[in-house]
Chain A
Amino acid sequence: MENRTRFLFLSTATLLGSLLLLPCEAAEPLGDNLREELLIEPEIARREIEEPEIESEDFEVGVYAGLMTIEDFGTSAVYGARLAYHGTESIFLEAAIGTSEANETSFELLGGDVQLLTDDDRKLTYYNLSAGYNILPGEVFLGGKYAYNSQFYLIAGIGSTRFAGDDEFTVNLGAGYRLLISDWLTLHLDARDHMFESDLLGETKTTHNFELHGGLTFFF
């Protein structure tokens, strides 16, 4: 047993010693000249490759135009601009600003000279911050040759509407359709309900102001 222990100890010690000495021993027998001969200097310089950055296109910016129905004040044209950030393939955040102008109410039309609002107060401006979710991705075929990607999305958010001299907290809810004409150019169709409280016609009520617009956006 003692022999065995001694053997194990010695062999471990030898092994460790040889491992530690190995680099020196290996280098020892070679003279300086020989070593130079054996060393082959690589003649090829490492290629310097400048790799271009991969361009990221997660932002989408664009303009839109359409129709907006302002409750009690008829339907008129609406114009706006939007900026969106796509965080994942499904989720995006959007900031939008739009403007429209109210027509006359039926009361004003029938009443002749009656004016509920001044011209300045007829202007409606809204901004909103919304989150969208892409569902139902698809492809649209035009003839036998062309195919375009498309997406349907649901969108909801909060914002503010300035109308008749007041700023009103506004909730918007809607859905849209995005048609990708090319990798960076997109066609939008969007339907939105802007809901805010209004006391313009006496009592306070929640007004629903529907907007339907088409737009063009660019990814960058």
Chain B
Amino acid sequence: MVWLLPVICHADNNYRRIQVTAPYIEMHTGPGSSYPIDFVVERGEWVEIRKRRTDWFQVHTRRGRLGWVIIDQMRQTRTEDGEPLRLVSYTQDDFRERRWEFSFYGGEMEGAALLGLYGGYSFNENLSTEISFSQALGDFSSEYLIDINLLSQPFPEWTYSPFFTLGSGIIRTKPNATLVQTEDRTDSTAHVGVGLRVYLTRRFFMRGEFRHYAVFTSRDDNEEFDQWKIGLGFFF
């Protein structure tokens, strides 16, 4: 059994230890402000941070009690080298500096209901690239779209920040089964778009967008159509 000991000790040391500098911090029974406070840790005491969930931190006291502390109170502590504990909460500034974002959206495309999701990567505050998967559910056919686009956001500091987008992709049209059997077809597309991104709270944002598509068909005429969508997303 003794050989197990170092392993256990090591595991214990694997958490960040902090010392309370506020008069006291409050431990809730769960990660939410509605859960009751059932313990307080006084100034000078050391606790271990076990994990984070949204803006709540699970801490473990030396006497073996576990509880959840909110980020504002966690900032009133210091680390082992005496520095105040720095924690990132997500604000509008972090939104400007985001690297990744994900969102899903609903909308309308040629009278059909549209839904989909996208993931984006930001090169800097102004320029990002995105890949999106959409499905348009019409009365006579379903359309599947995959698009890759570049997006420029000239005023990232604005809460209501407009953006412009340019991209291309493919569209697959699948006629409904209840209609006379016609063939599925796949064409390539290009689009331009304009939209508005709104920072909501924490890691959430909203985004509305209009896109105009051109479909390069094998027939004589190229088709064109419009797409409207609004979505809810998060970033990190």
What DSSP secondary structure best describes chain A's contact surface? Answer: strand
- Determine if A129 and B117 form an interchain contact, defined as CB atoms under 8 angstroms apart: yes
Assess A86 versus B53: contact at CB under 8 Å? Given A52-B15, A91-B204, A160-B137.
Answer: yes
Count of A interface residues, CB-CB < 8 Å:
42
Binding site for B on A (CB under 8 A): 47, 49, 51-58, 85-91, 93, 95, 121, 129, 131, 134, 137, 139, 147, 149, 151, 158-160, 164-169, 180, 183, 199-200, 219
Q: Is B176 an interface residue (CB 8 A)?
A: yes
- Determine if B35 and A52 form an interchain contact, defined as CB atoms under 8 angstroms apart: no
- Determine if A57 and B53 form an interchain contact, defined as CB atoms under 8 angstroms apart: yes
Q: Is B29 an interface residue (CB 8 A)?
A: yes
Q: Is B32 an interface residue (CB 8 A)?
A: yes
What DSSP secondary structure best describes chain B's contact surface? Answer: strand
A17 to chain B, nearest CB (A): 39
- Determine if A139 and B29 form an interchain contact, defined as CB atoms under 8 angstroms apart: yes
- Determine if B81 and A49 form an interchain contact, defined as CB atoms under 8 angstroms apart: yes
Task: Say which residue of B29, B33, B50, B104 sits within 8 Å of A89 (CB atoms).
Answer: B33
Chain B residue contacts of A51, Cβ below 8 A:
16, 79-80
- Determine if A88 and B201 form an interchain contact, defined as CB atoms under 8 angstroms apart: yes
Binding site for A on B (CB under 8 A): 14-16, 29-35, 49-58, 79-81, 87, 102, 104, 106, 112-113, 115, 117, 135, 137, 142, 174, 176-178, 201-204, 232, 234
Chain B residue contacts of A168, Cβ below 8 A:
137
Task: Say which residue of A85, A89, A160, A164 sits within 8 Å of B31 (CB atoms).
Answer: A89
Given A57-B51, A88-B204, A89-B32; 6 other pairs, CB 8 A cutoff? A89-B54, A158-B113, A159-B115, A165-B177, A166-B177, A167-B142
A155 to chain B, nearest CB (A): 13
How far, in whole Å, are A95 and B105 apart by their CA atoms in the complex? 12
- Determine if B135 and A183 form an interchain contact, defined as CB atoms under 8 angstroms apart: no
With both beta carbons as reference points, the residue of chain A lying nearest to B117 in the complex is identified as A129
Task: Say which residue of B32, B35, B56, B202 sits within 8 Å of A87 (CB atoms).
Answer: B202
How far, in whole Å, are A121 and B176 apart by their CA atoms in the complex? 13
B215 to chain A, nearest CB (A): 19
Chain B residue contacts of A91, Cβ below 8 A:
204
With both beta carbons as reference points, the residue of chain B lying nearest to A219 in the complex is identified as B53
Task: Say which residue of B35, B51, B79, B142 sits within 8 Å of A56 (CB atoms).
Answer: B51
- Determine if A55 and B52 form an interchain contact, defined as CB atoms under 8 angstroms apart: yes
With both beta carbons as reference points, the residue of chain B lying nearest to A168 in the complex is identified as B137
- Determine if B79 and A169 form an interchain contact, defined as CB atoms under 8 angstroms apart: no
How far, in whole Å, are A86 and B16 apart by their CA atoms in the complex? 23
Chain B residue contacts of A129, Cβ below 8 A:
104, 115, 117
Closest 4 CB pairs of A and B: A165-B177, A169-B113, A129-B104, A169-B137
